[in-house]
A and B are shown apart, each in its own frame.
Chain A
Amino acid sequence: MARLRIGIVLFESSRAELERLARSLKAAEFPPDLRVEVRALDNSPDRSLEPVVLALLGQGTYVWTGANRGFGATHNLGMHDAFSAGADGYLCLNPDAVLHPRCLRELWTTATLPDTGLVDARTFPEEHAKPYDPETGDTPWCTGTALLVRPAAFAATGGFDEGLFMYGEDVDLSWRVRAAGLGVRTAPGALVHHWVEHRPLTRERELRVLRSAAYLGRKWGDDRFAEQYERLYRVRAGREPVLEPPPPVPPATRRFADLAHGVRFARSRW
């Protein structure tokens, strides 16, 4: 029987949000030969979410990480544990998401196509404007809202770049997975409700986006792209962005990056 581990990274998440997610996990349909286990990885300052999570998730497990490590680094912990224990897939799932009951089944169907490294669900009601091939599901990059990672993709890349605290780590991982020769796909029938359009662009969030964009530009060899976002960061923050030197990307693999479409990282359909 195949095993799928769902990893949910929490940071002071609300009870209402977790209740919605838990209901959708209980309503989820998946193939009989797939065993699904859920693990919450809590980056909150204390363990106050533990009883809430355990009451809502039933069979799920709870891990308090003791520090806010960021999205990618925390999922790396989760993936390391899951794949070391023999999981056949790891689903990075946002706590403010709601899965359509068929989402897991559709994700898994695409994940088991030969050579698949990553599969993302289609965000709903605002679908991401990046394109995908409607027949094969091939897409330039996968979004992290509901992102299924296969063991081969983790083995080839080591997971997310931990130099990215939040935003852009899914784009970077996708490019590296494609560079490793694995498929990066969208499962069109996998819908995940994730509505963030109404959230205000706070200064903190904007600075994180700008910093991540600058980091990706430096990492993938487009200094002009990086300089634009560094300059904008300076205007907003009144200081230089702190960018750790990114791990080197071999020049031959830079062709997998798309920095010609701003922070959309792909042609937009609308």
Chain B
Amino acid sequence: MSPAPRVHVHLISWTDEPWDLEESLFSLVTQEGVTGTVSVSVPPSLEAHARDACARLARLGGAVELRPGTPPRWAPEAEAVTVWVAGTVATPDHLARALSSSGAAGALVVAPARRVLRRPVPGRPPYVVSKTRRFTSSMPFLAELERDPAFLGRCLVPAAHAPGWLPGPPEEHRRWAAEAWAAGSVTRVPGPPAVDLPDLRPDRRLRSADDLRDTLADLRYQGPRWLERRALLVFDRLRGLYHRLRNGDH
């Protein structure tokens, strides 16, 4: 049996919220079908917590090596690279599915995602207020994604196209992504949302056609569920339609 492909995940925390780090690390150590190298870059106030969290979660025995600190570049043995902002969480098959969607051509892949609005709670994990589906076009443009500061968490870049450095602050994420986009083709991972991105937008007003498409993508999911609660038997008759809407690509 050939070894599982290796992915380098650079996990970066932009805030002092320890729970965001904890949840992203828990999500990474429970990924299946890949081996991982996770470098963990945090503000000085979180360094001790990050070391403890890495040691704690390594005991779960996932196929992931946790390395506190920022390396000069991603692990040379990695087949693909991604950058997560703390608070990002993915389904356990996300990295493996994204890698297989990359195909022989080694396209940069973008997974369907939800935007997670949270409310900070002192001394406790942030409270999740809502999760909303994002629209993802079949060949996603960078402009469509980068309205979410944490957007790189839904992108997986083949090593051959990944910039040779790791980004830190938000503006570097955009520059890193622009270099990756320029290096090869881009495609979308099929299926329902696999990644939850923390909503870190400074301005949440509807401002563009892309925002409207996000709203419609979420309505396409929520509408049938509203009908299911209100009129179960009518909903059941429209079940086939519901499954096409729920599981369709968006």
Contacts and interface: CB of A to CB of B under 8 A. Distances in A.
A264 B119 CA distance: 23
Contact of A23 (B59, B93, B125, B131): B59
Contact of A134 (B93, B127, B132): B127
Contacts of B92: 125, 193, 195
Contacts of B125: 122, 188-189
Contacts of A264: 229
A41 to B, nearest CB: 24
Interface string A121-148: 0101111000000110000000000000
A268 B119 CA distance: 16
A93 to B, nearest CB: 15
Interface stretch (A44-52, A74-82, A226-234): A226-234
Contacts of A195: 30, 91-92
Contacts of A239: none
Interface stretch (A56-64, A95-103, A165-173): A95-103
A235 interface: yes
A63 to B, nearest CB: 27
A24 B232 contact: no
Contact of A270 (B132, B233, B236): B132
Contacts of A125: 27, 30, 89-92, 196
Interface string B157-198: 000000000000000000000000000000000000000100
A101 B233 contact: no
Interface string B119-153: 10100110111111000000000000000000000
A226 to B, nearest CB: 12
A102 B49 CA distance: 13
Contact of B128 (A29, A127, A189, A191): A127
Contacts of B228: 262
Contacts, number: 83
Interface string B227-245: 0110011001000000000
Contacts of B121: 134-135, 188
A234 B208 CA distance: 47
A199 interface: no
A269 B131 CA distance: 8
Contacts of B91: 125-126, 195, 197-198
A269 B128 contact: yes
Contacts of B61: 23
Contacts of A193: 26, 30, 92
B249 interface: no
Contact of A232 (B22, B60, B124, B233): B233
A96 to B, nearest CB: 12
A67 interface: no
Interface of B: 19, 22-23, 26-27, 30, 56-57, 59-61, 89-93, 114, 119, 121, 124-125, 127-132, 196, 225, 228-229, 232-233, 236
Q: Which 8 pairs, one residue from A and one from B, show the smallest C-beta to C-beta distance?
A: A27-B59, A134-B127, A270-B131, A262-B229, A134-B121, A228-B232, A23-B61, A101-B56
17 contacts: A20-B60, A29-B56, A100-B57, A101-B57, A102-B22, A102-B56, A122-B125, A125-B196, A127-B128, A134-B124, A188-B127, A191-B26, A193-B30, A193-B92, A198-B93, A262-B232, A270-B131
Interface of A: 20, 23-24, 26-27, 29, 98, 100-102, 122, 124-127, 134-135, 188-189, 191, 193, 195, 197-198, 228-229, 231-232, 235, 260-262, 264, 268-270
Given A20-B60, A229-B232, 20 more contacts: A23-B59, A98-B60, A100-B22, A101-B57, A102-B22, A124-B26, A124-B89, A125-B30, A134-B121, A189-B19, A189-B125, A191-B22, A193-B92, A195-B30, A228-B233, A232-B233, A260-B229, A261-B229, A262-B228, A270-B128
